[in-house]
Homo-oligomer: A and B are copies of this chain.
Amino acid sequence: MATMKLASWASSLEYSTIPESVRKAAIRSFYNWAGCAIGGSNHPATIIAHDSLQAFFGAPTSSLLGQTATRVDAQHAALLNGIASHVHDYDDTHLETIIHPTGPVASALLAFAESQPQAVGGEDFLLAMIAGIEAECKIGLAVWPDHYDVGWHITSTTGAIGAAVAVGRLLKLDAERMAHAIGIAAAQVTGLREMFGSHAKSFHVGRAAQNGLIAALLAKGGFTSSTRALEAKRGWANVVSAVQKLDELMASLGKAWETQKNSFKPFPCGIVIHPIIDGCAQLKPDVDATGKQIGSIRARVHPLVLELTGKKKPKDGLEAKFSVYHGGALGLLYGKATPALYEDCVATDPKVVNIRDKIEASEDNSLAADEAYITVTFEDGSEVEKHVVHAIGSTEVPMTDEQLTAKFVDQCQSLLGGRTQQVSDALWRIESAPGIAQLIRGLY
């Protein structure tokens, strides 16, 4: 029943019935995704994938975000934008499942929408995207946490199904063909956690987008799979997870909206470091105002912080992502942590190393994962303190639109130059766009 239930729900979803807060969350999700895709477009993983597969590119219908005027066929645009959007680990997070939901869905949907002869309007686009994100997060919740624990990269394994539902909704598939699309996507279970730390991690996201895109197109053409693909004895959920609660989650479709729970990362590193960076960034004006020299910094943090990110002397940018000390130093020195501040040269910059070495972090079991206490002691013995109750980017303290815009500008400035603000403005107005392809092409 779960497969047909999801298929029927997605096929009949209408934009007018989606709460305003959900639509707003979808716009923020797409905006944040686009910034990440632009920001990751010149990463080696994206470039290698482009160059390695270039011989297969078909008619150039769909944009590679961030790459001025470069278009490829929709399948490859889905792959490459998907890789780019995830490669800095800077994309969105559905906190209950740690799915990064927009990557697979928007990568498939935008590439496909651009390839269509008829204009796809902003509302139709967002409707399809919301259907896809709801599908992927509900299915993810149904197999969480066992599915992730055993070793699947849940973003891509559920993301293919989300992408199929999204493209299927745009294609106006009826419930039965939507079910076949879900099945074809479900049969392509891509993403192993063993790949974390390699290029393949972001490949998962792009491949999931492709898997879903072709699933929807095949189903539209009459290709069959199973209308019990998710719940059957040898169907998706039983094969990829020891426990599942599909019926419960499918019953919540359209009642509890997962899109609305999406969160955005203010900093391109593990979420456990965020309270320290946030607190240090908040202390920076006070510290600067004193004009005093810092003697030492003490931080009390959730135990996971040191387990996951306890690297005292990171030797390059990648290691710095696993260093709470590097993160704290960035907050105090720059009031932020951006991809540029995770370049190799920053990890070894004497100014950063000097502050980093002064930070001592200790575990405090009484703290929440998004909480921290920070005390800066100056050389004269005076102190300033900060208690971060919920870090920026958490459910309780979401990033504001202005903060998302600042993140976008930071990610895109070096690639888009003087057009950055104009691109940002256009993306914020997606809901009223008469045509998505025209919107995207108008950016260049």
List the interface of chain A (C-beta within 8 A of B): 44-45, 48-49, 51-53, 55-59, 61, 73-75, 115, 150-153, 180, 183-184, 186-195, 197-200, 203-204, 207, 214, 217-218, 220-226, 228-229, 232-236, 238-239
> B186 to A235, Cβ gap below 8 A?
no
Chain B residues with Cβ under 8 A from A200's Cβ?
183-184, 187, 223-226
Chain B residues with Cβ under 8 A from A180's Cβ?
198
> A195 to B183, Cβ gap below 8 A?
yes
A233 to B196 Cα, complex, angstroms:
13
Q: List 6 A-B contacts (CB under 8 A).
A: A48-B221, A55-B73, A189-B192, A194-B234, A194-B235, A203-B223
> B194 to A52, Cβ gap below 8 A?
no
> A190 to B188, Cβ gap below 8 A?
yes
A198 to B227 Cα, complex, angstroms:
10
The 9 closest A-B pairs by CB, nearest first: A151-B234, A52-B221, A200-B225, A151-B239, A194-B235, A198-B224, A193-B234, A194-B232, A56-B58
User: Least Cβ distance of A257 to chain B in Å?
Assistant: 29
Contact partner of A58 (CB less than 8 A), chosen from B73, B152, B226, is: B73
A182 to B235 Cα, complex, angstroms:
25
> A45 to B223, Cβ gap below 8 A?
yes
> B226 to A203, Cβ gap below 8 A?
no
Known: A56-B58, A74-B56, A188-B188. Contact between A224 and B236, CB under 8 A?
no
> B73 to A228, Cβ gap below 8 A?
no
Known: A188-B188, A218-B203, A235-B151. Contact between A195 and B58, CB under 8 A?
no
Known: A53-B214, A55-B59, A59-B55. Contact between A207 and B188, CB under 8 A?
yes
Contact partner of A187 (CB less than 8 A), chosen from B44, B191, B218, B228, is: B191
> B52 to A229, Cβ gap below 8 A?
no
> A187 to B183, Cβ gap below 8 A?
no
Chain B residues with Cβ under 8 A from A228's Cβ?
194
Known: A53-B218, A223-B48. Contact between A187 and B204, CB under 8 A?
yes
Chain B residues with Cβ under 8 A from A203's Cβ?
184, 187, 218, 223
> B199 to A48, Cβ gap below 8 A?
no
Residue of B nearest to A202 (CB): B223
Name the residue among A75, A200, A203, A224 with the largest chain B CB count within 10 angstroms. Answer: A200
User: Least Cβ distance of A441 to chain B in Å?
Assistant: 18
Name the residue among A57, A188, A190, A214 with the largest chain B CB count within 10 angstroms. Answer: A188
Contact partner of A218 (CB less than 8 A), chosen from B48, B75, B115, B214, is: B48
Chain B residues with Cβ under 8 A from A150's Cβ?
234, 238-239
Identify 10 new A-B residue pairs, CB closer than 8 A, beyond the known A57-B58, A150-B234, A203-B223: A44-B222, A180-B198, A183-B200, A189-B189, A189-B190, A192-B236, A195-B225, A197-B226, A198-B225, A199-B224
Chain B residues with Cβ under 8 A from A221's Cβ?
48-49, 51-52
Chain B residues with Cβ under 8 A from A239's Cβ?
150-152, 192, 194
Chain B residues with Cβ under 8 A from A45's Cβ?
223
Chain B residues with Cβ under 8 A from A193's Cβ?
234
> B199 to A192, Cβ gap below 8 A?
no
Name the residue among A53, A186, A204 with the largest chain B CB count within 10 angstroms. Answer: A53
Contact partner of A75 (CB less than 8 A), chosen from B56, B59, B222, B223, is: B56
A180 to B52 Cα, complex, angstroms:
14
Residue of B nearest to A188 (CB): B190
Chain B residues with Cβ under 8 A from A225's Cβ?
195, 198-200
> A195 to B229, Cβ gap below 8 A?
yes
A222 to B220 Cα, complex, angstroms:
36
> A235 to B59, Cβ gap below 8 A?
no
Chain B residues with Cβ under 8 A from A217's Cβ?
52-53
Name the residue among A51, A74, A190, A234 with the largest chain B CB count within 10 angstroms. Answer: A234
Chain B residues with Cβ under 8 A from A55's Cβ?
58-59, 61, 73-74, 115
A234 to B239 Cα, complex, angstroms:
16
Chain B residues with Cβ under 8 A from A56's Cβ?
58-59, 73-75
